[in-house]
Amino acid sequence: MLKKERQALIMREVNIRNKVLHADLSKKLAVSEDTIRRDLQELADEGKLVKVRGGALSKSFQTNSYRGAEIYKYQEKTAIARKAVPLLSNGMLVLISGGTTTIELARILPQELEATFYTPSLLVALQLAEHPNSDTILIGGRISRNAKITTGGEVVSILRDIRPDLCLIGTNSIDARIGITDSDWEVVDVKKAMIQASEKVAVLAISEKLDNAQKIRIAPINDIDYLITELEPGDPLLGPYKTAGIQVI
């Protein structure tokens, strides 16, 4: 049995039952519990499930418990959000992805801004809806449980029909050679379409996400126009991105 095949079966089991036990899987797949443990560890590292003692749980099962928890690295994220605000101006059509940084941006946008926003993210949309002078359009589709964004062909096809002035993308991994990447293909599909649709693309990322890559590529580095981090634009960490032709803010 191939490792990938085994992991795919594990994921299916997790999605159906919400929980899996080492013992069950090891019997069902005829491998040792060590192997199962290692598989679960890998899947957990990719963020596809939550590993717990004795087995693993599906993400949705666990997720509702850390609602209301503090946003990780909030200070950095709100600093990034503040730096992104000047990119927006009245009359623009703006596309915003999901993620804690972009939610924070949506929250702190100036009330007087008159722009039109498209987003697939429920949480971003809720924040944007508080701004009286801007219009928010939520792109409809099937909801991805993990990311709380709408996904699927319908989303992509709506994105094909619009031409936003600016696209604001939050990302988990950016690398100066590879570009931006993610591990959830549903998210990748949507972000790809967002970037292709847009005139300009700005990536928001806290510095620890720099020089990192995951399995699936969203866009090469030269599709990106702006990179916003909490660091000073002169920081040496950002050198490679400048060299690649990105405007670092």
Read off the tokens for 154.
């319908």
- Is residue 31 close enough to count as binding DNA by CB under 7 A? yes
Judge whether 230 and 249 are in contact, CB under 8 Å. Answer: no
d(CA 9, CA 174): 30
Longest dimension (CA), the chain: 62
CA 75 to chain CA centroid, nearest Å? 19
215 binds DNA (CB under 7 A): no
Report which of 186, 167, 184 is spatially closest to residue 224, judged by C-alpha positions. 167
Q: Which of 8, 17, 23, 60 binds DNA (CB under 7 A)?
A: 23
**Of positions 10, 20, 55, 164, contacts DNA by CB under 7 A:** 55
- Give the DSSP H/E element, type plus range, for residue 16: helix 3-17
Map tokens 């620890």 to a residue: 208
Stretch that binds DNA, among 15-23, 73-81, 100-108, 175-183 (CB under 7 A): 15-23
Q: How far is the CB of 216 from DNA (least distance, A)?
A: 17
- Which residue, 20 or 246, is less far from a second copy as judged by CB? 20
Q: Mark residues 141-180: x for contact with a second copy by CB under 8 A, - for none.
A: xxx-x--x-x---x---x----------------------
Binders of a second copy among 70-129, rule CB under 8 A?
Answer: 111, 122-123, 125-126, 128-129
Beta carbon of residue 7, minimum distance to DNA (angstroms, whole number): 9
Those residues whose C-beta lies under 8 Å from the C-beta of residue 65, and which sit 6 or more positions away, are: none
- How far is the C-alpha of 28 from the C-alpha of 202, rounded, in Å? 46
Tokens of 183: 């591990």
Stretch that binds DNA, among 22-30, 79-87, 112-120, 194-202 (CB under 7 A): 22-30
31 scored as a contact of a second copy (CB under 8 A) = no
Binding segment toward a second copy, per CB under 8 A, in 25-33, 43-51, 199-207, 240-248: 43-51
| Binding segment (CB under 7 A) for DNA, from list 52-60, 75-83, 179-187, 192-200 | 52-60
Rounded distance between C-alpha atoms, residue 46 and residue 170, angstroms? 18
The site partner of 5 among DNA, a second copy, none (C-beta below 5 to 8 Å per kind) is: a second copy
Question: What is the C-alpha to C-alpha distance for residues 3 and 38, in angstroms, rounded to an integer?
Answer: 10
- Distance separating alpha carbons of residues 7 and 3, to the nearest angstrom: 6
Q: What are phi and psi of 168, to 5 degrees?
A: -105, 115
User: Which parts of this chain interact with DNA (CB under 7 A)?
Assistant: 1, 3, 6, 21-23, 30-35, 37-39, 41, 51-55
User: Which parts of this chain interact with a second copy (CB under 8 A)?
Assistant: 2-5, 7-8, 11-12, 15, 18-19, 21, 46, 48, 50, 52-55, 57-58, 60-65, 111, 122-123, 125-126, 128-132, 135-143, 145, 148, 150, 154, 158
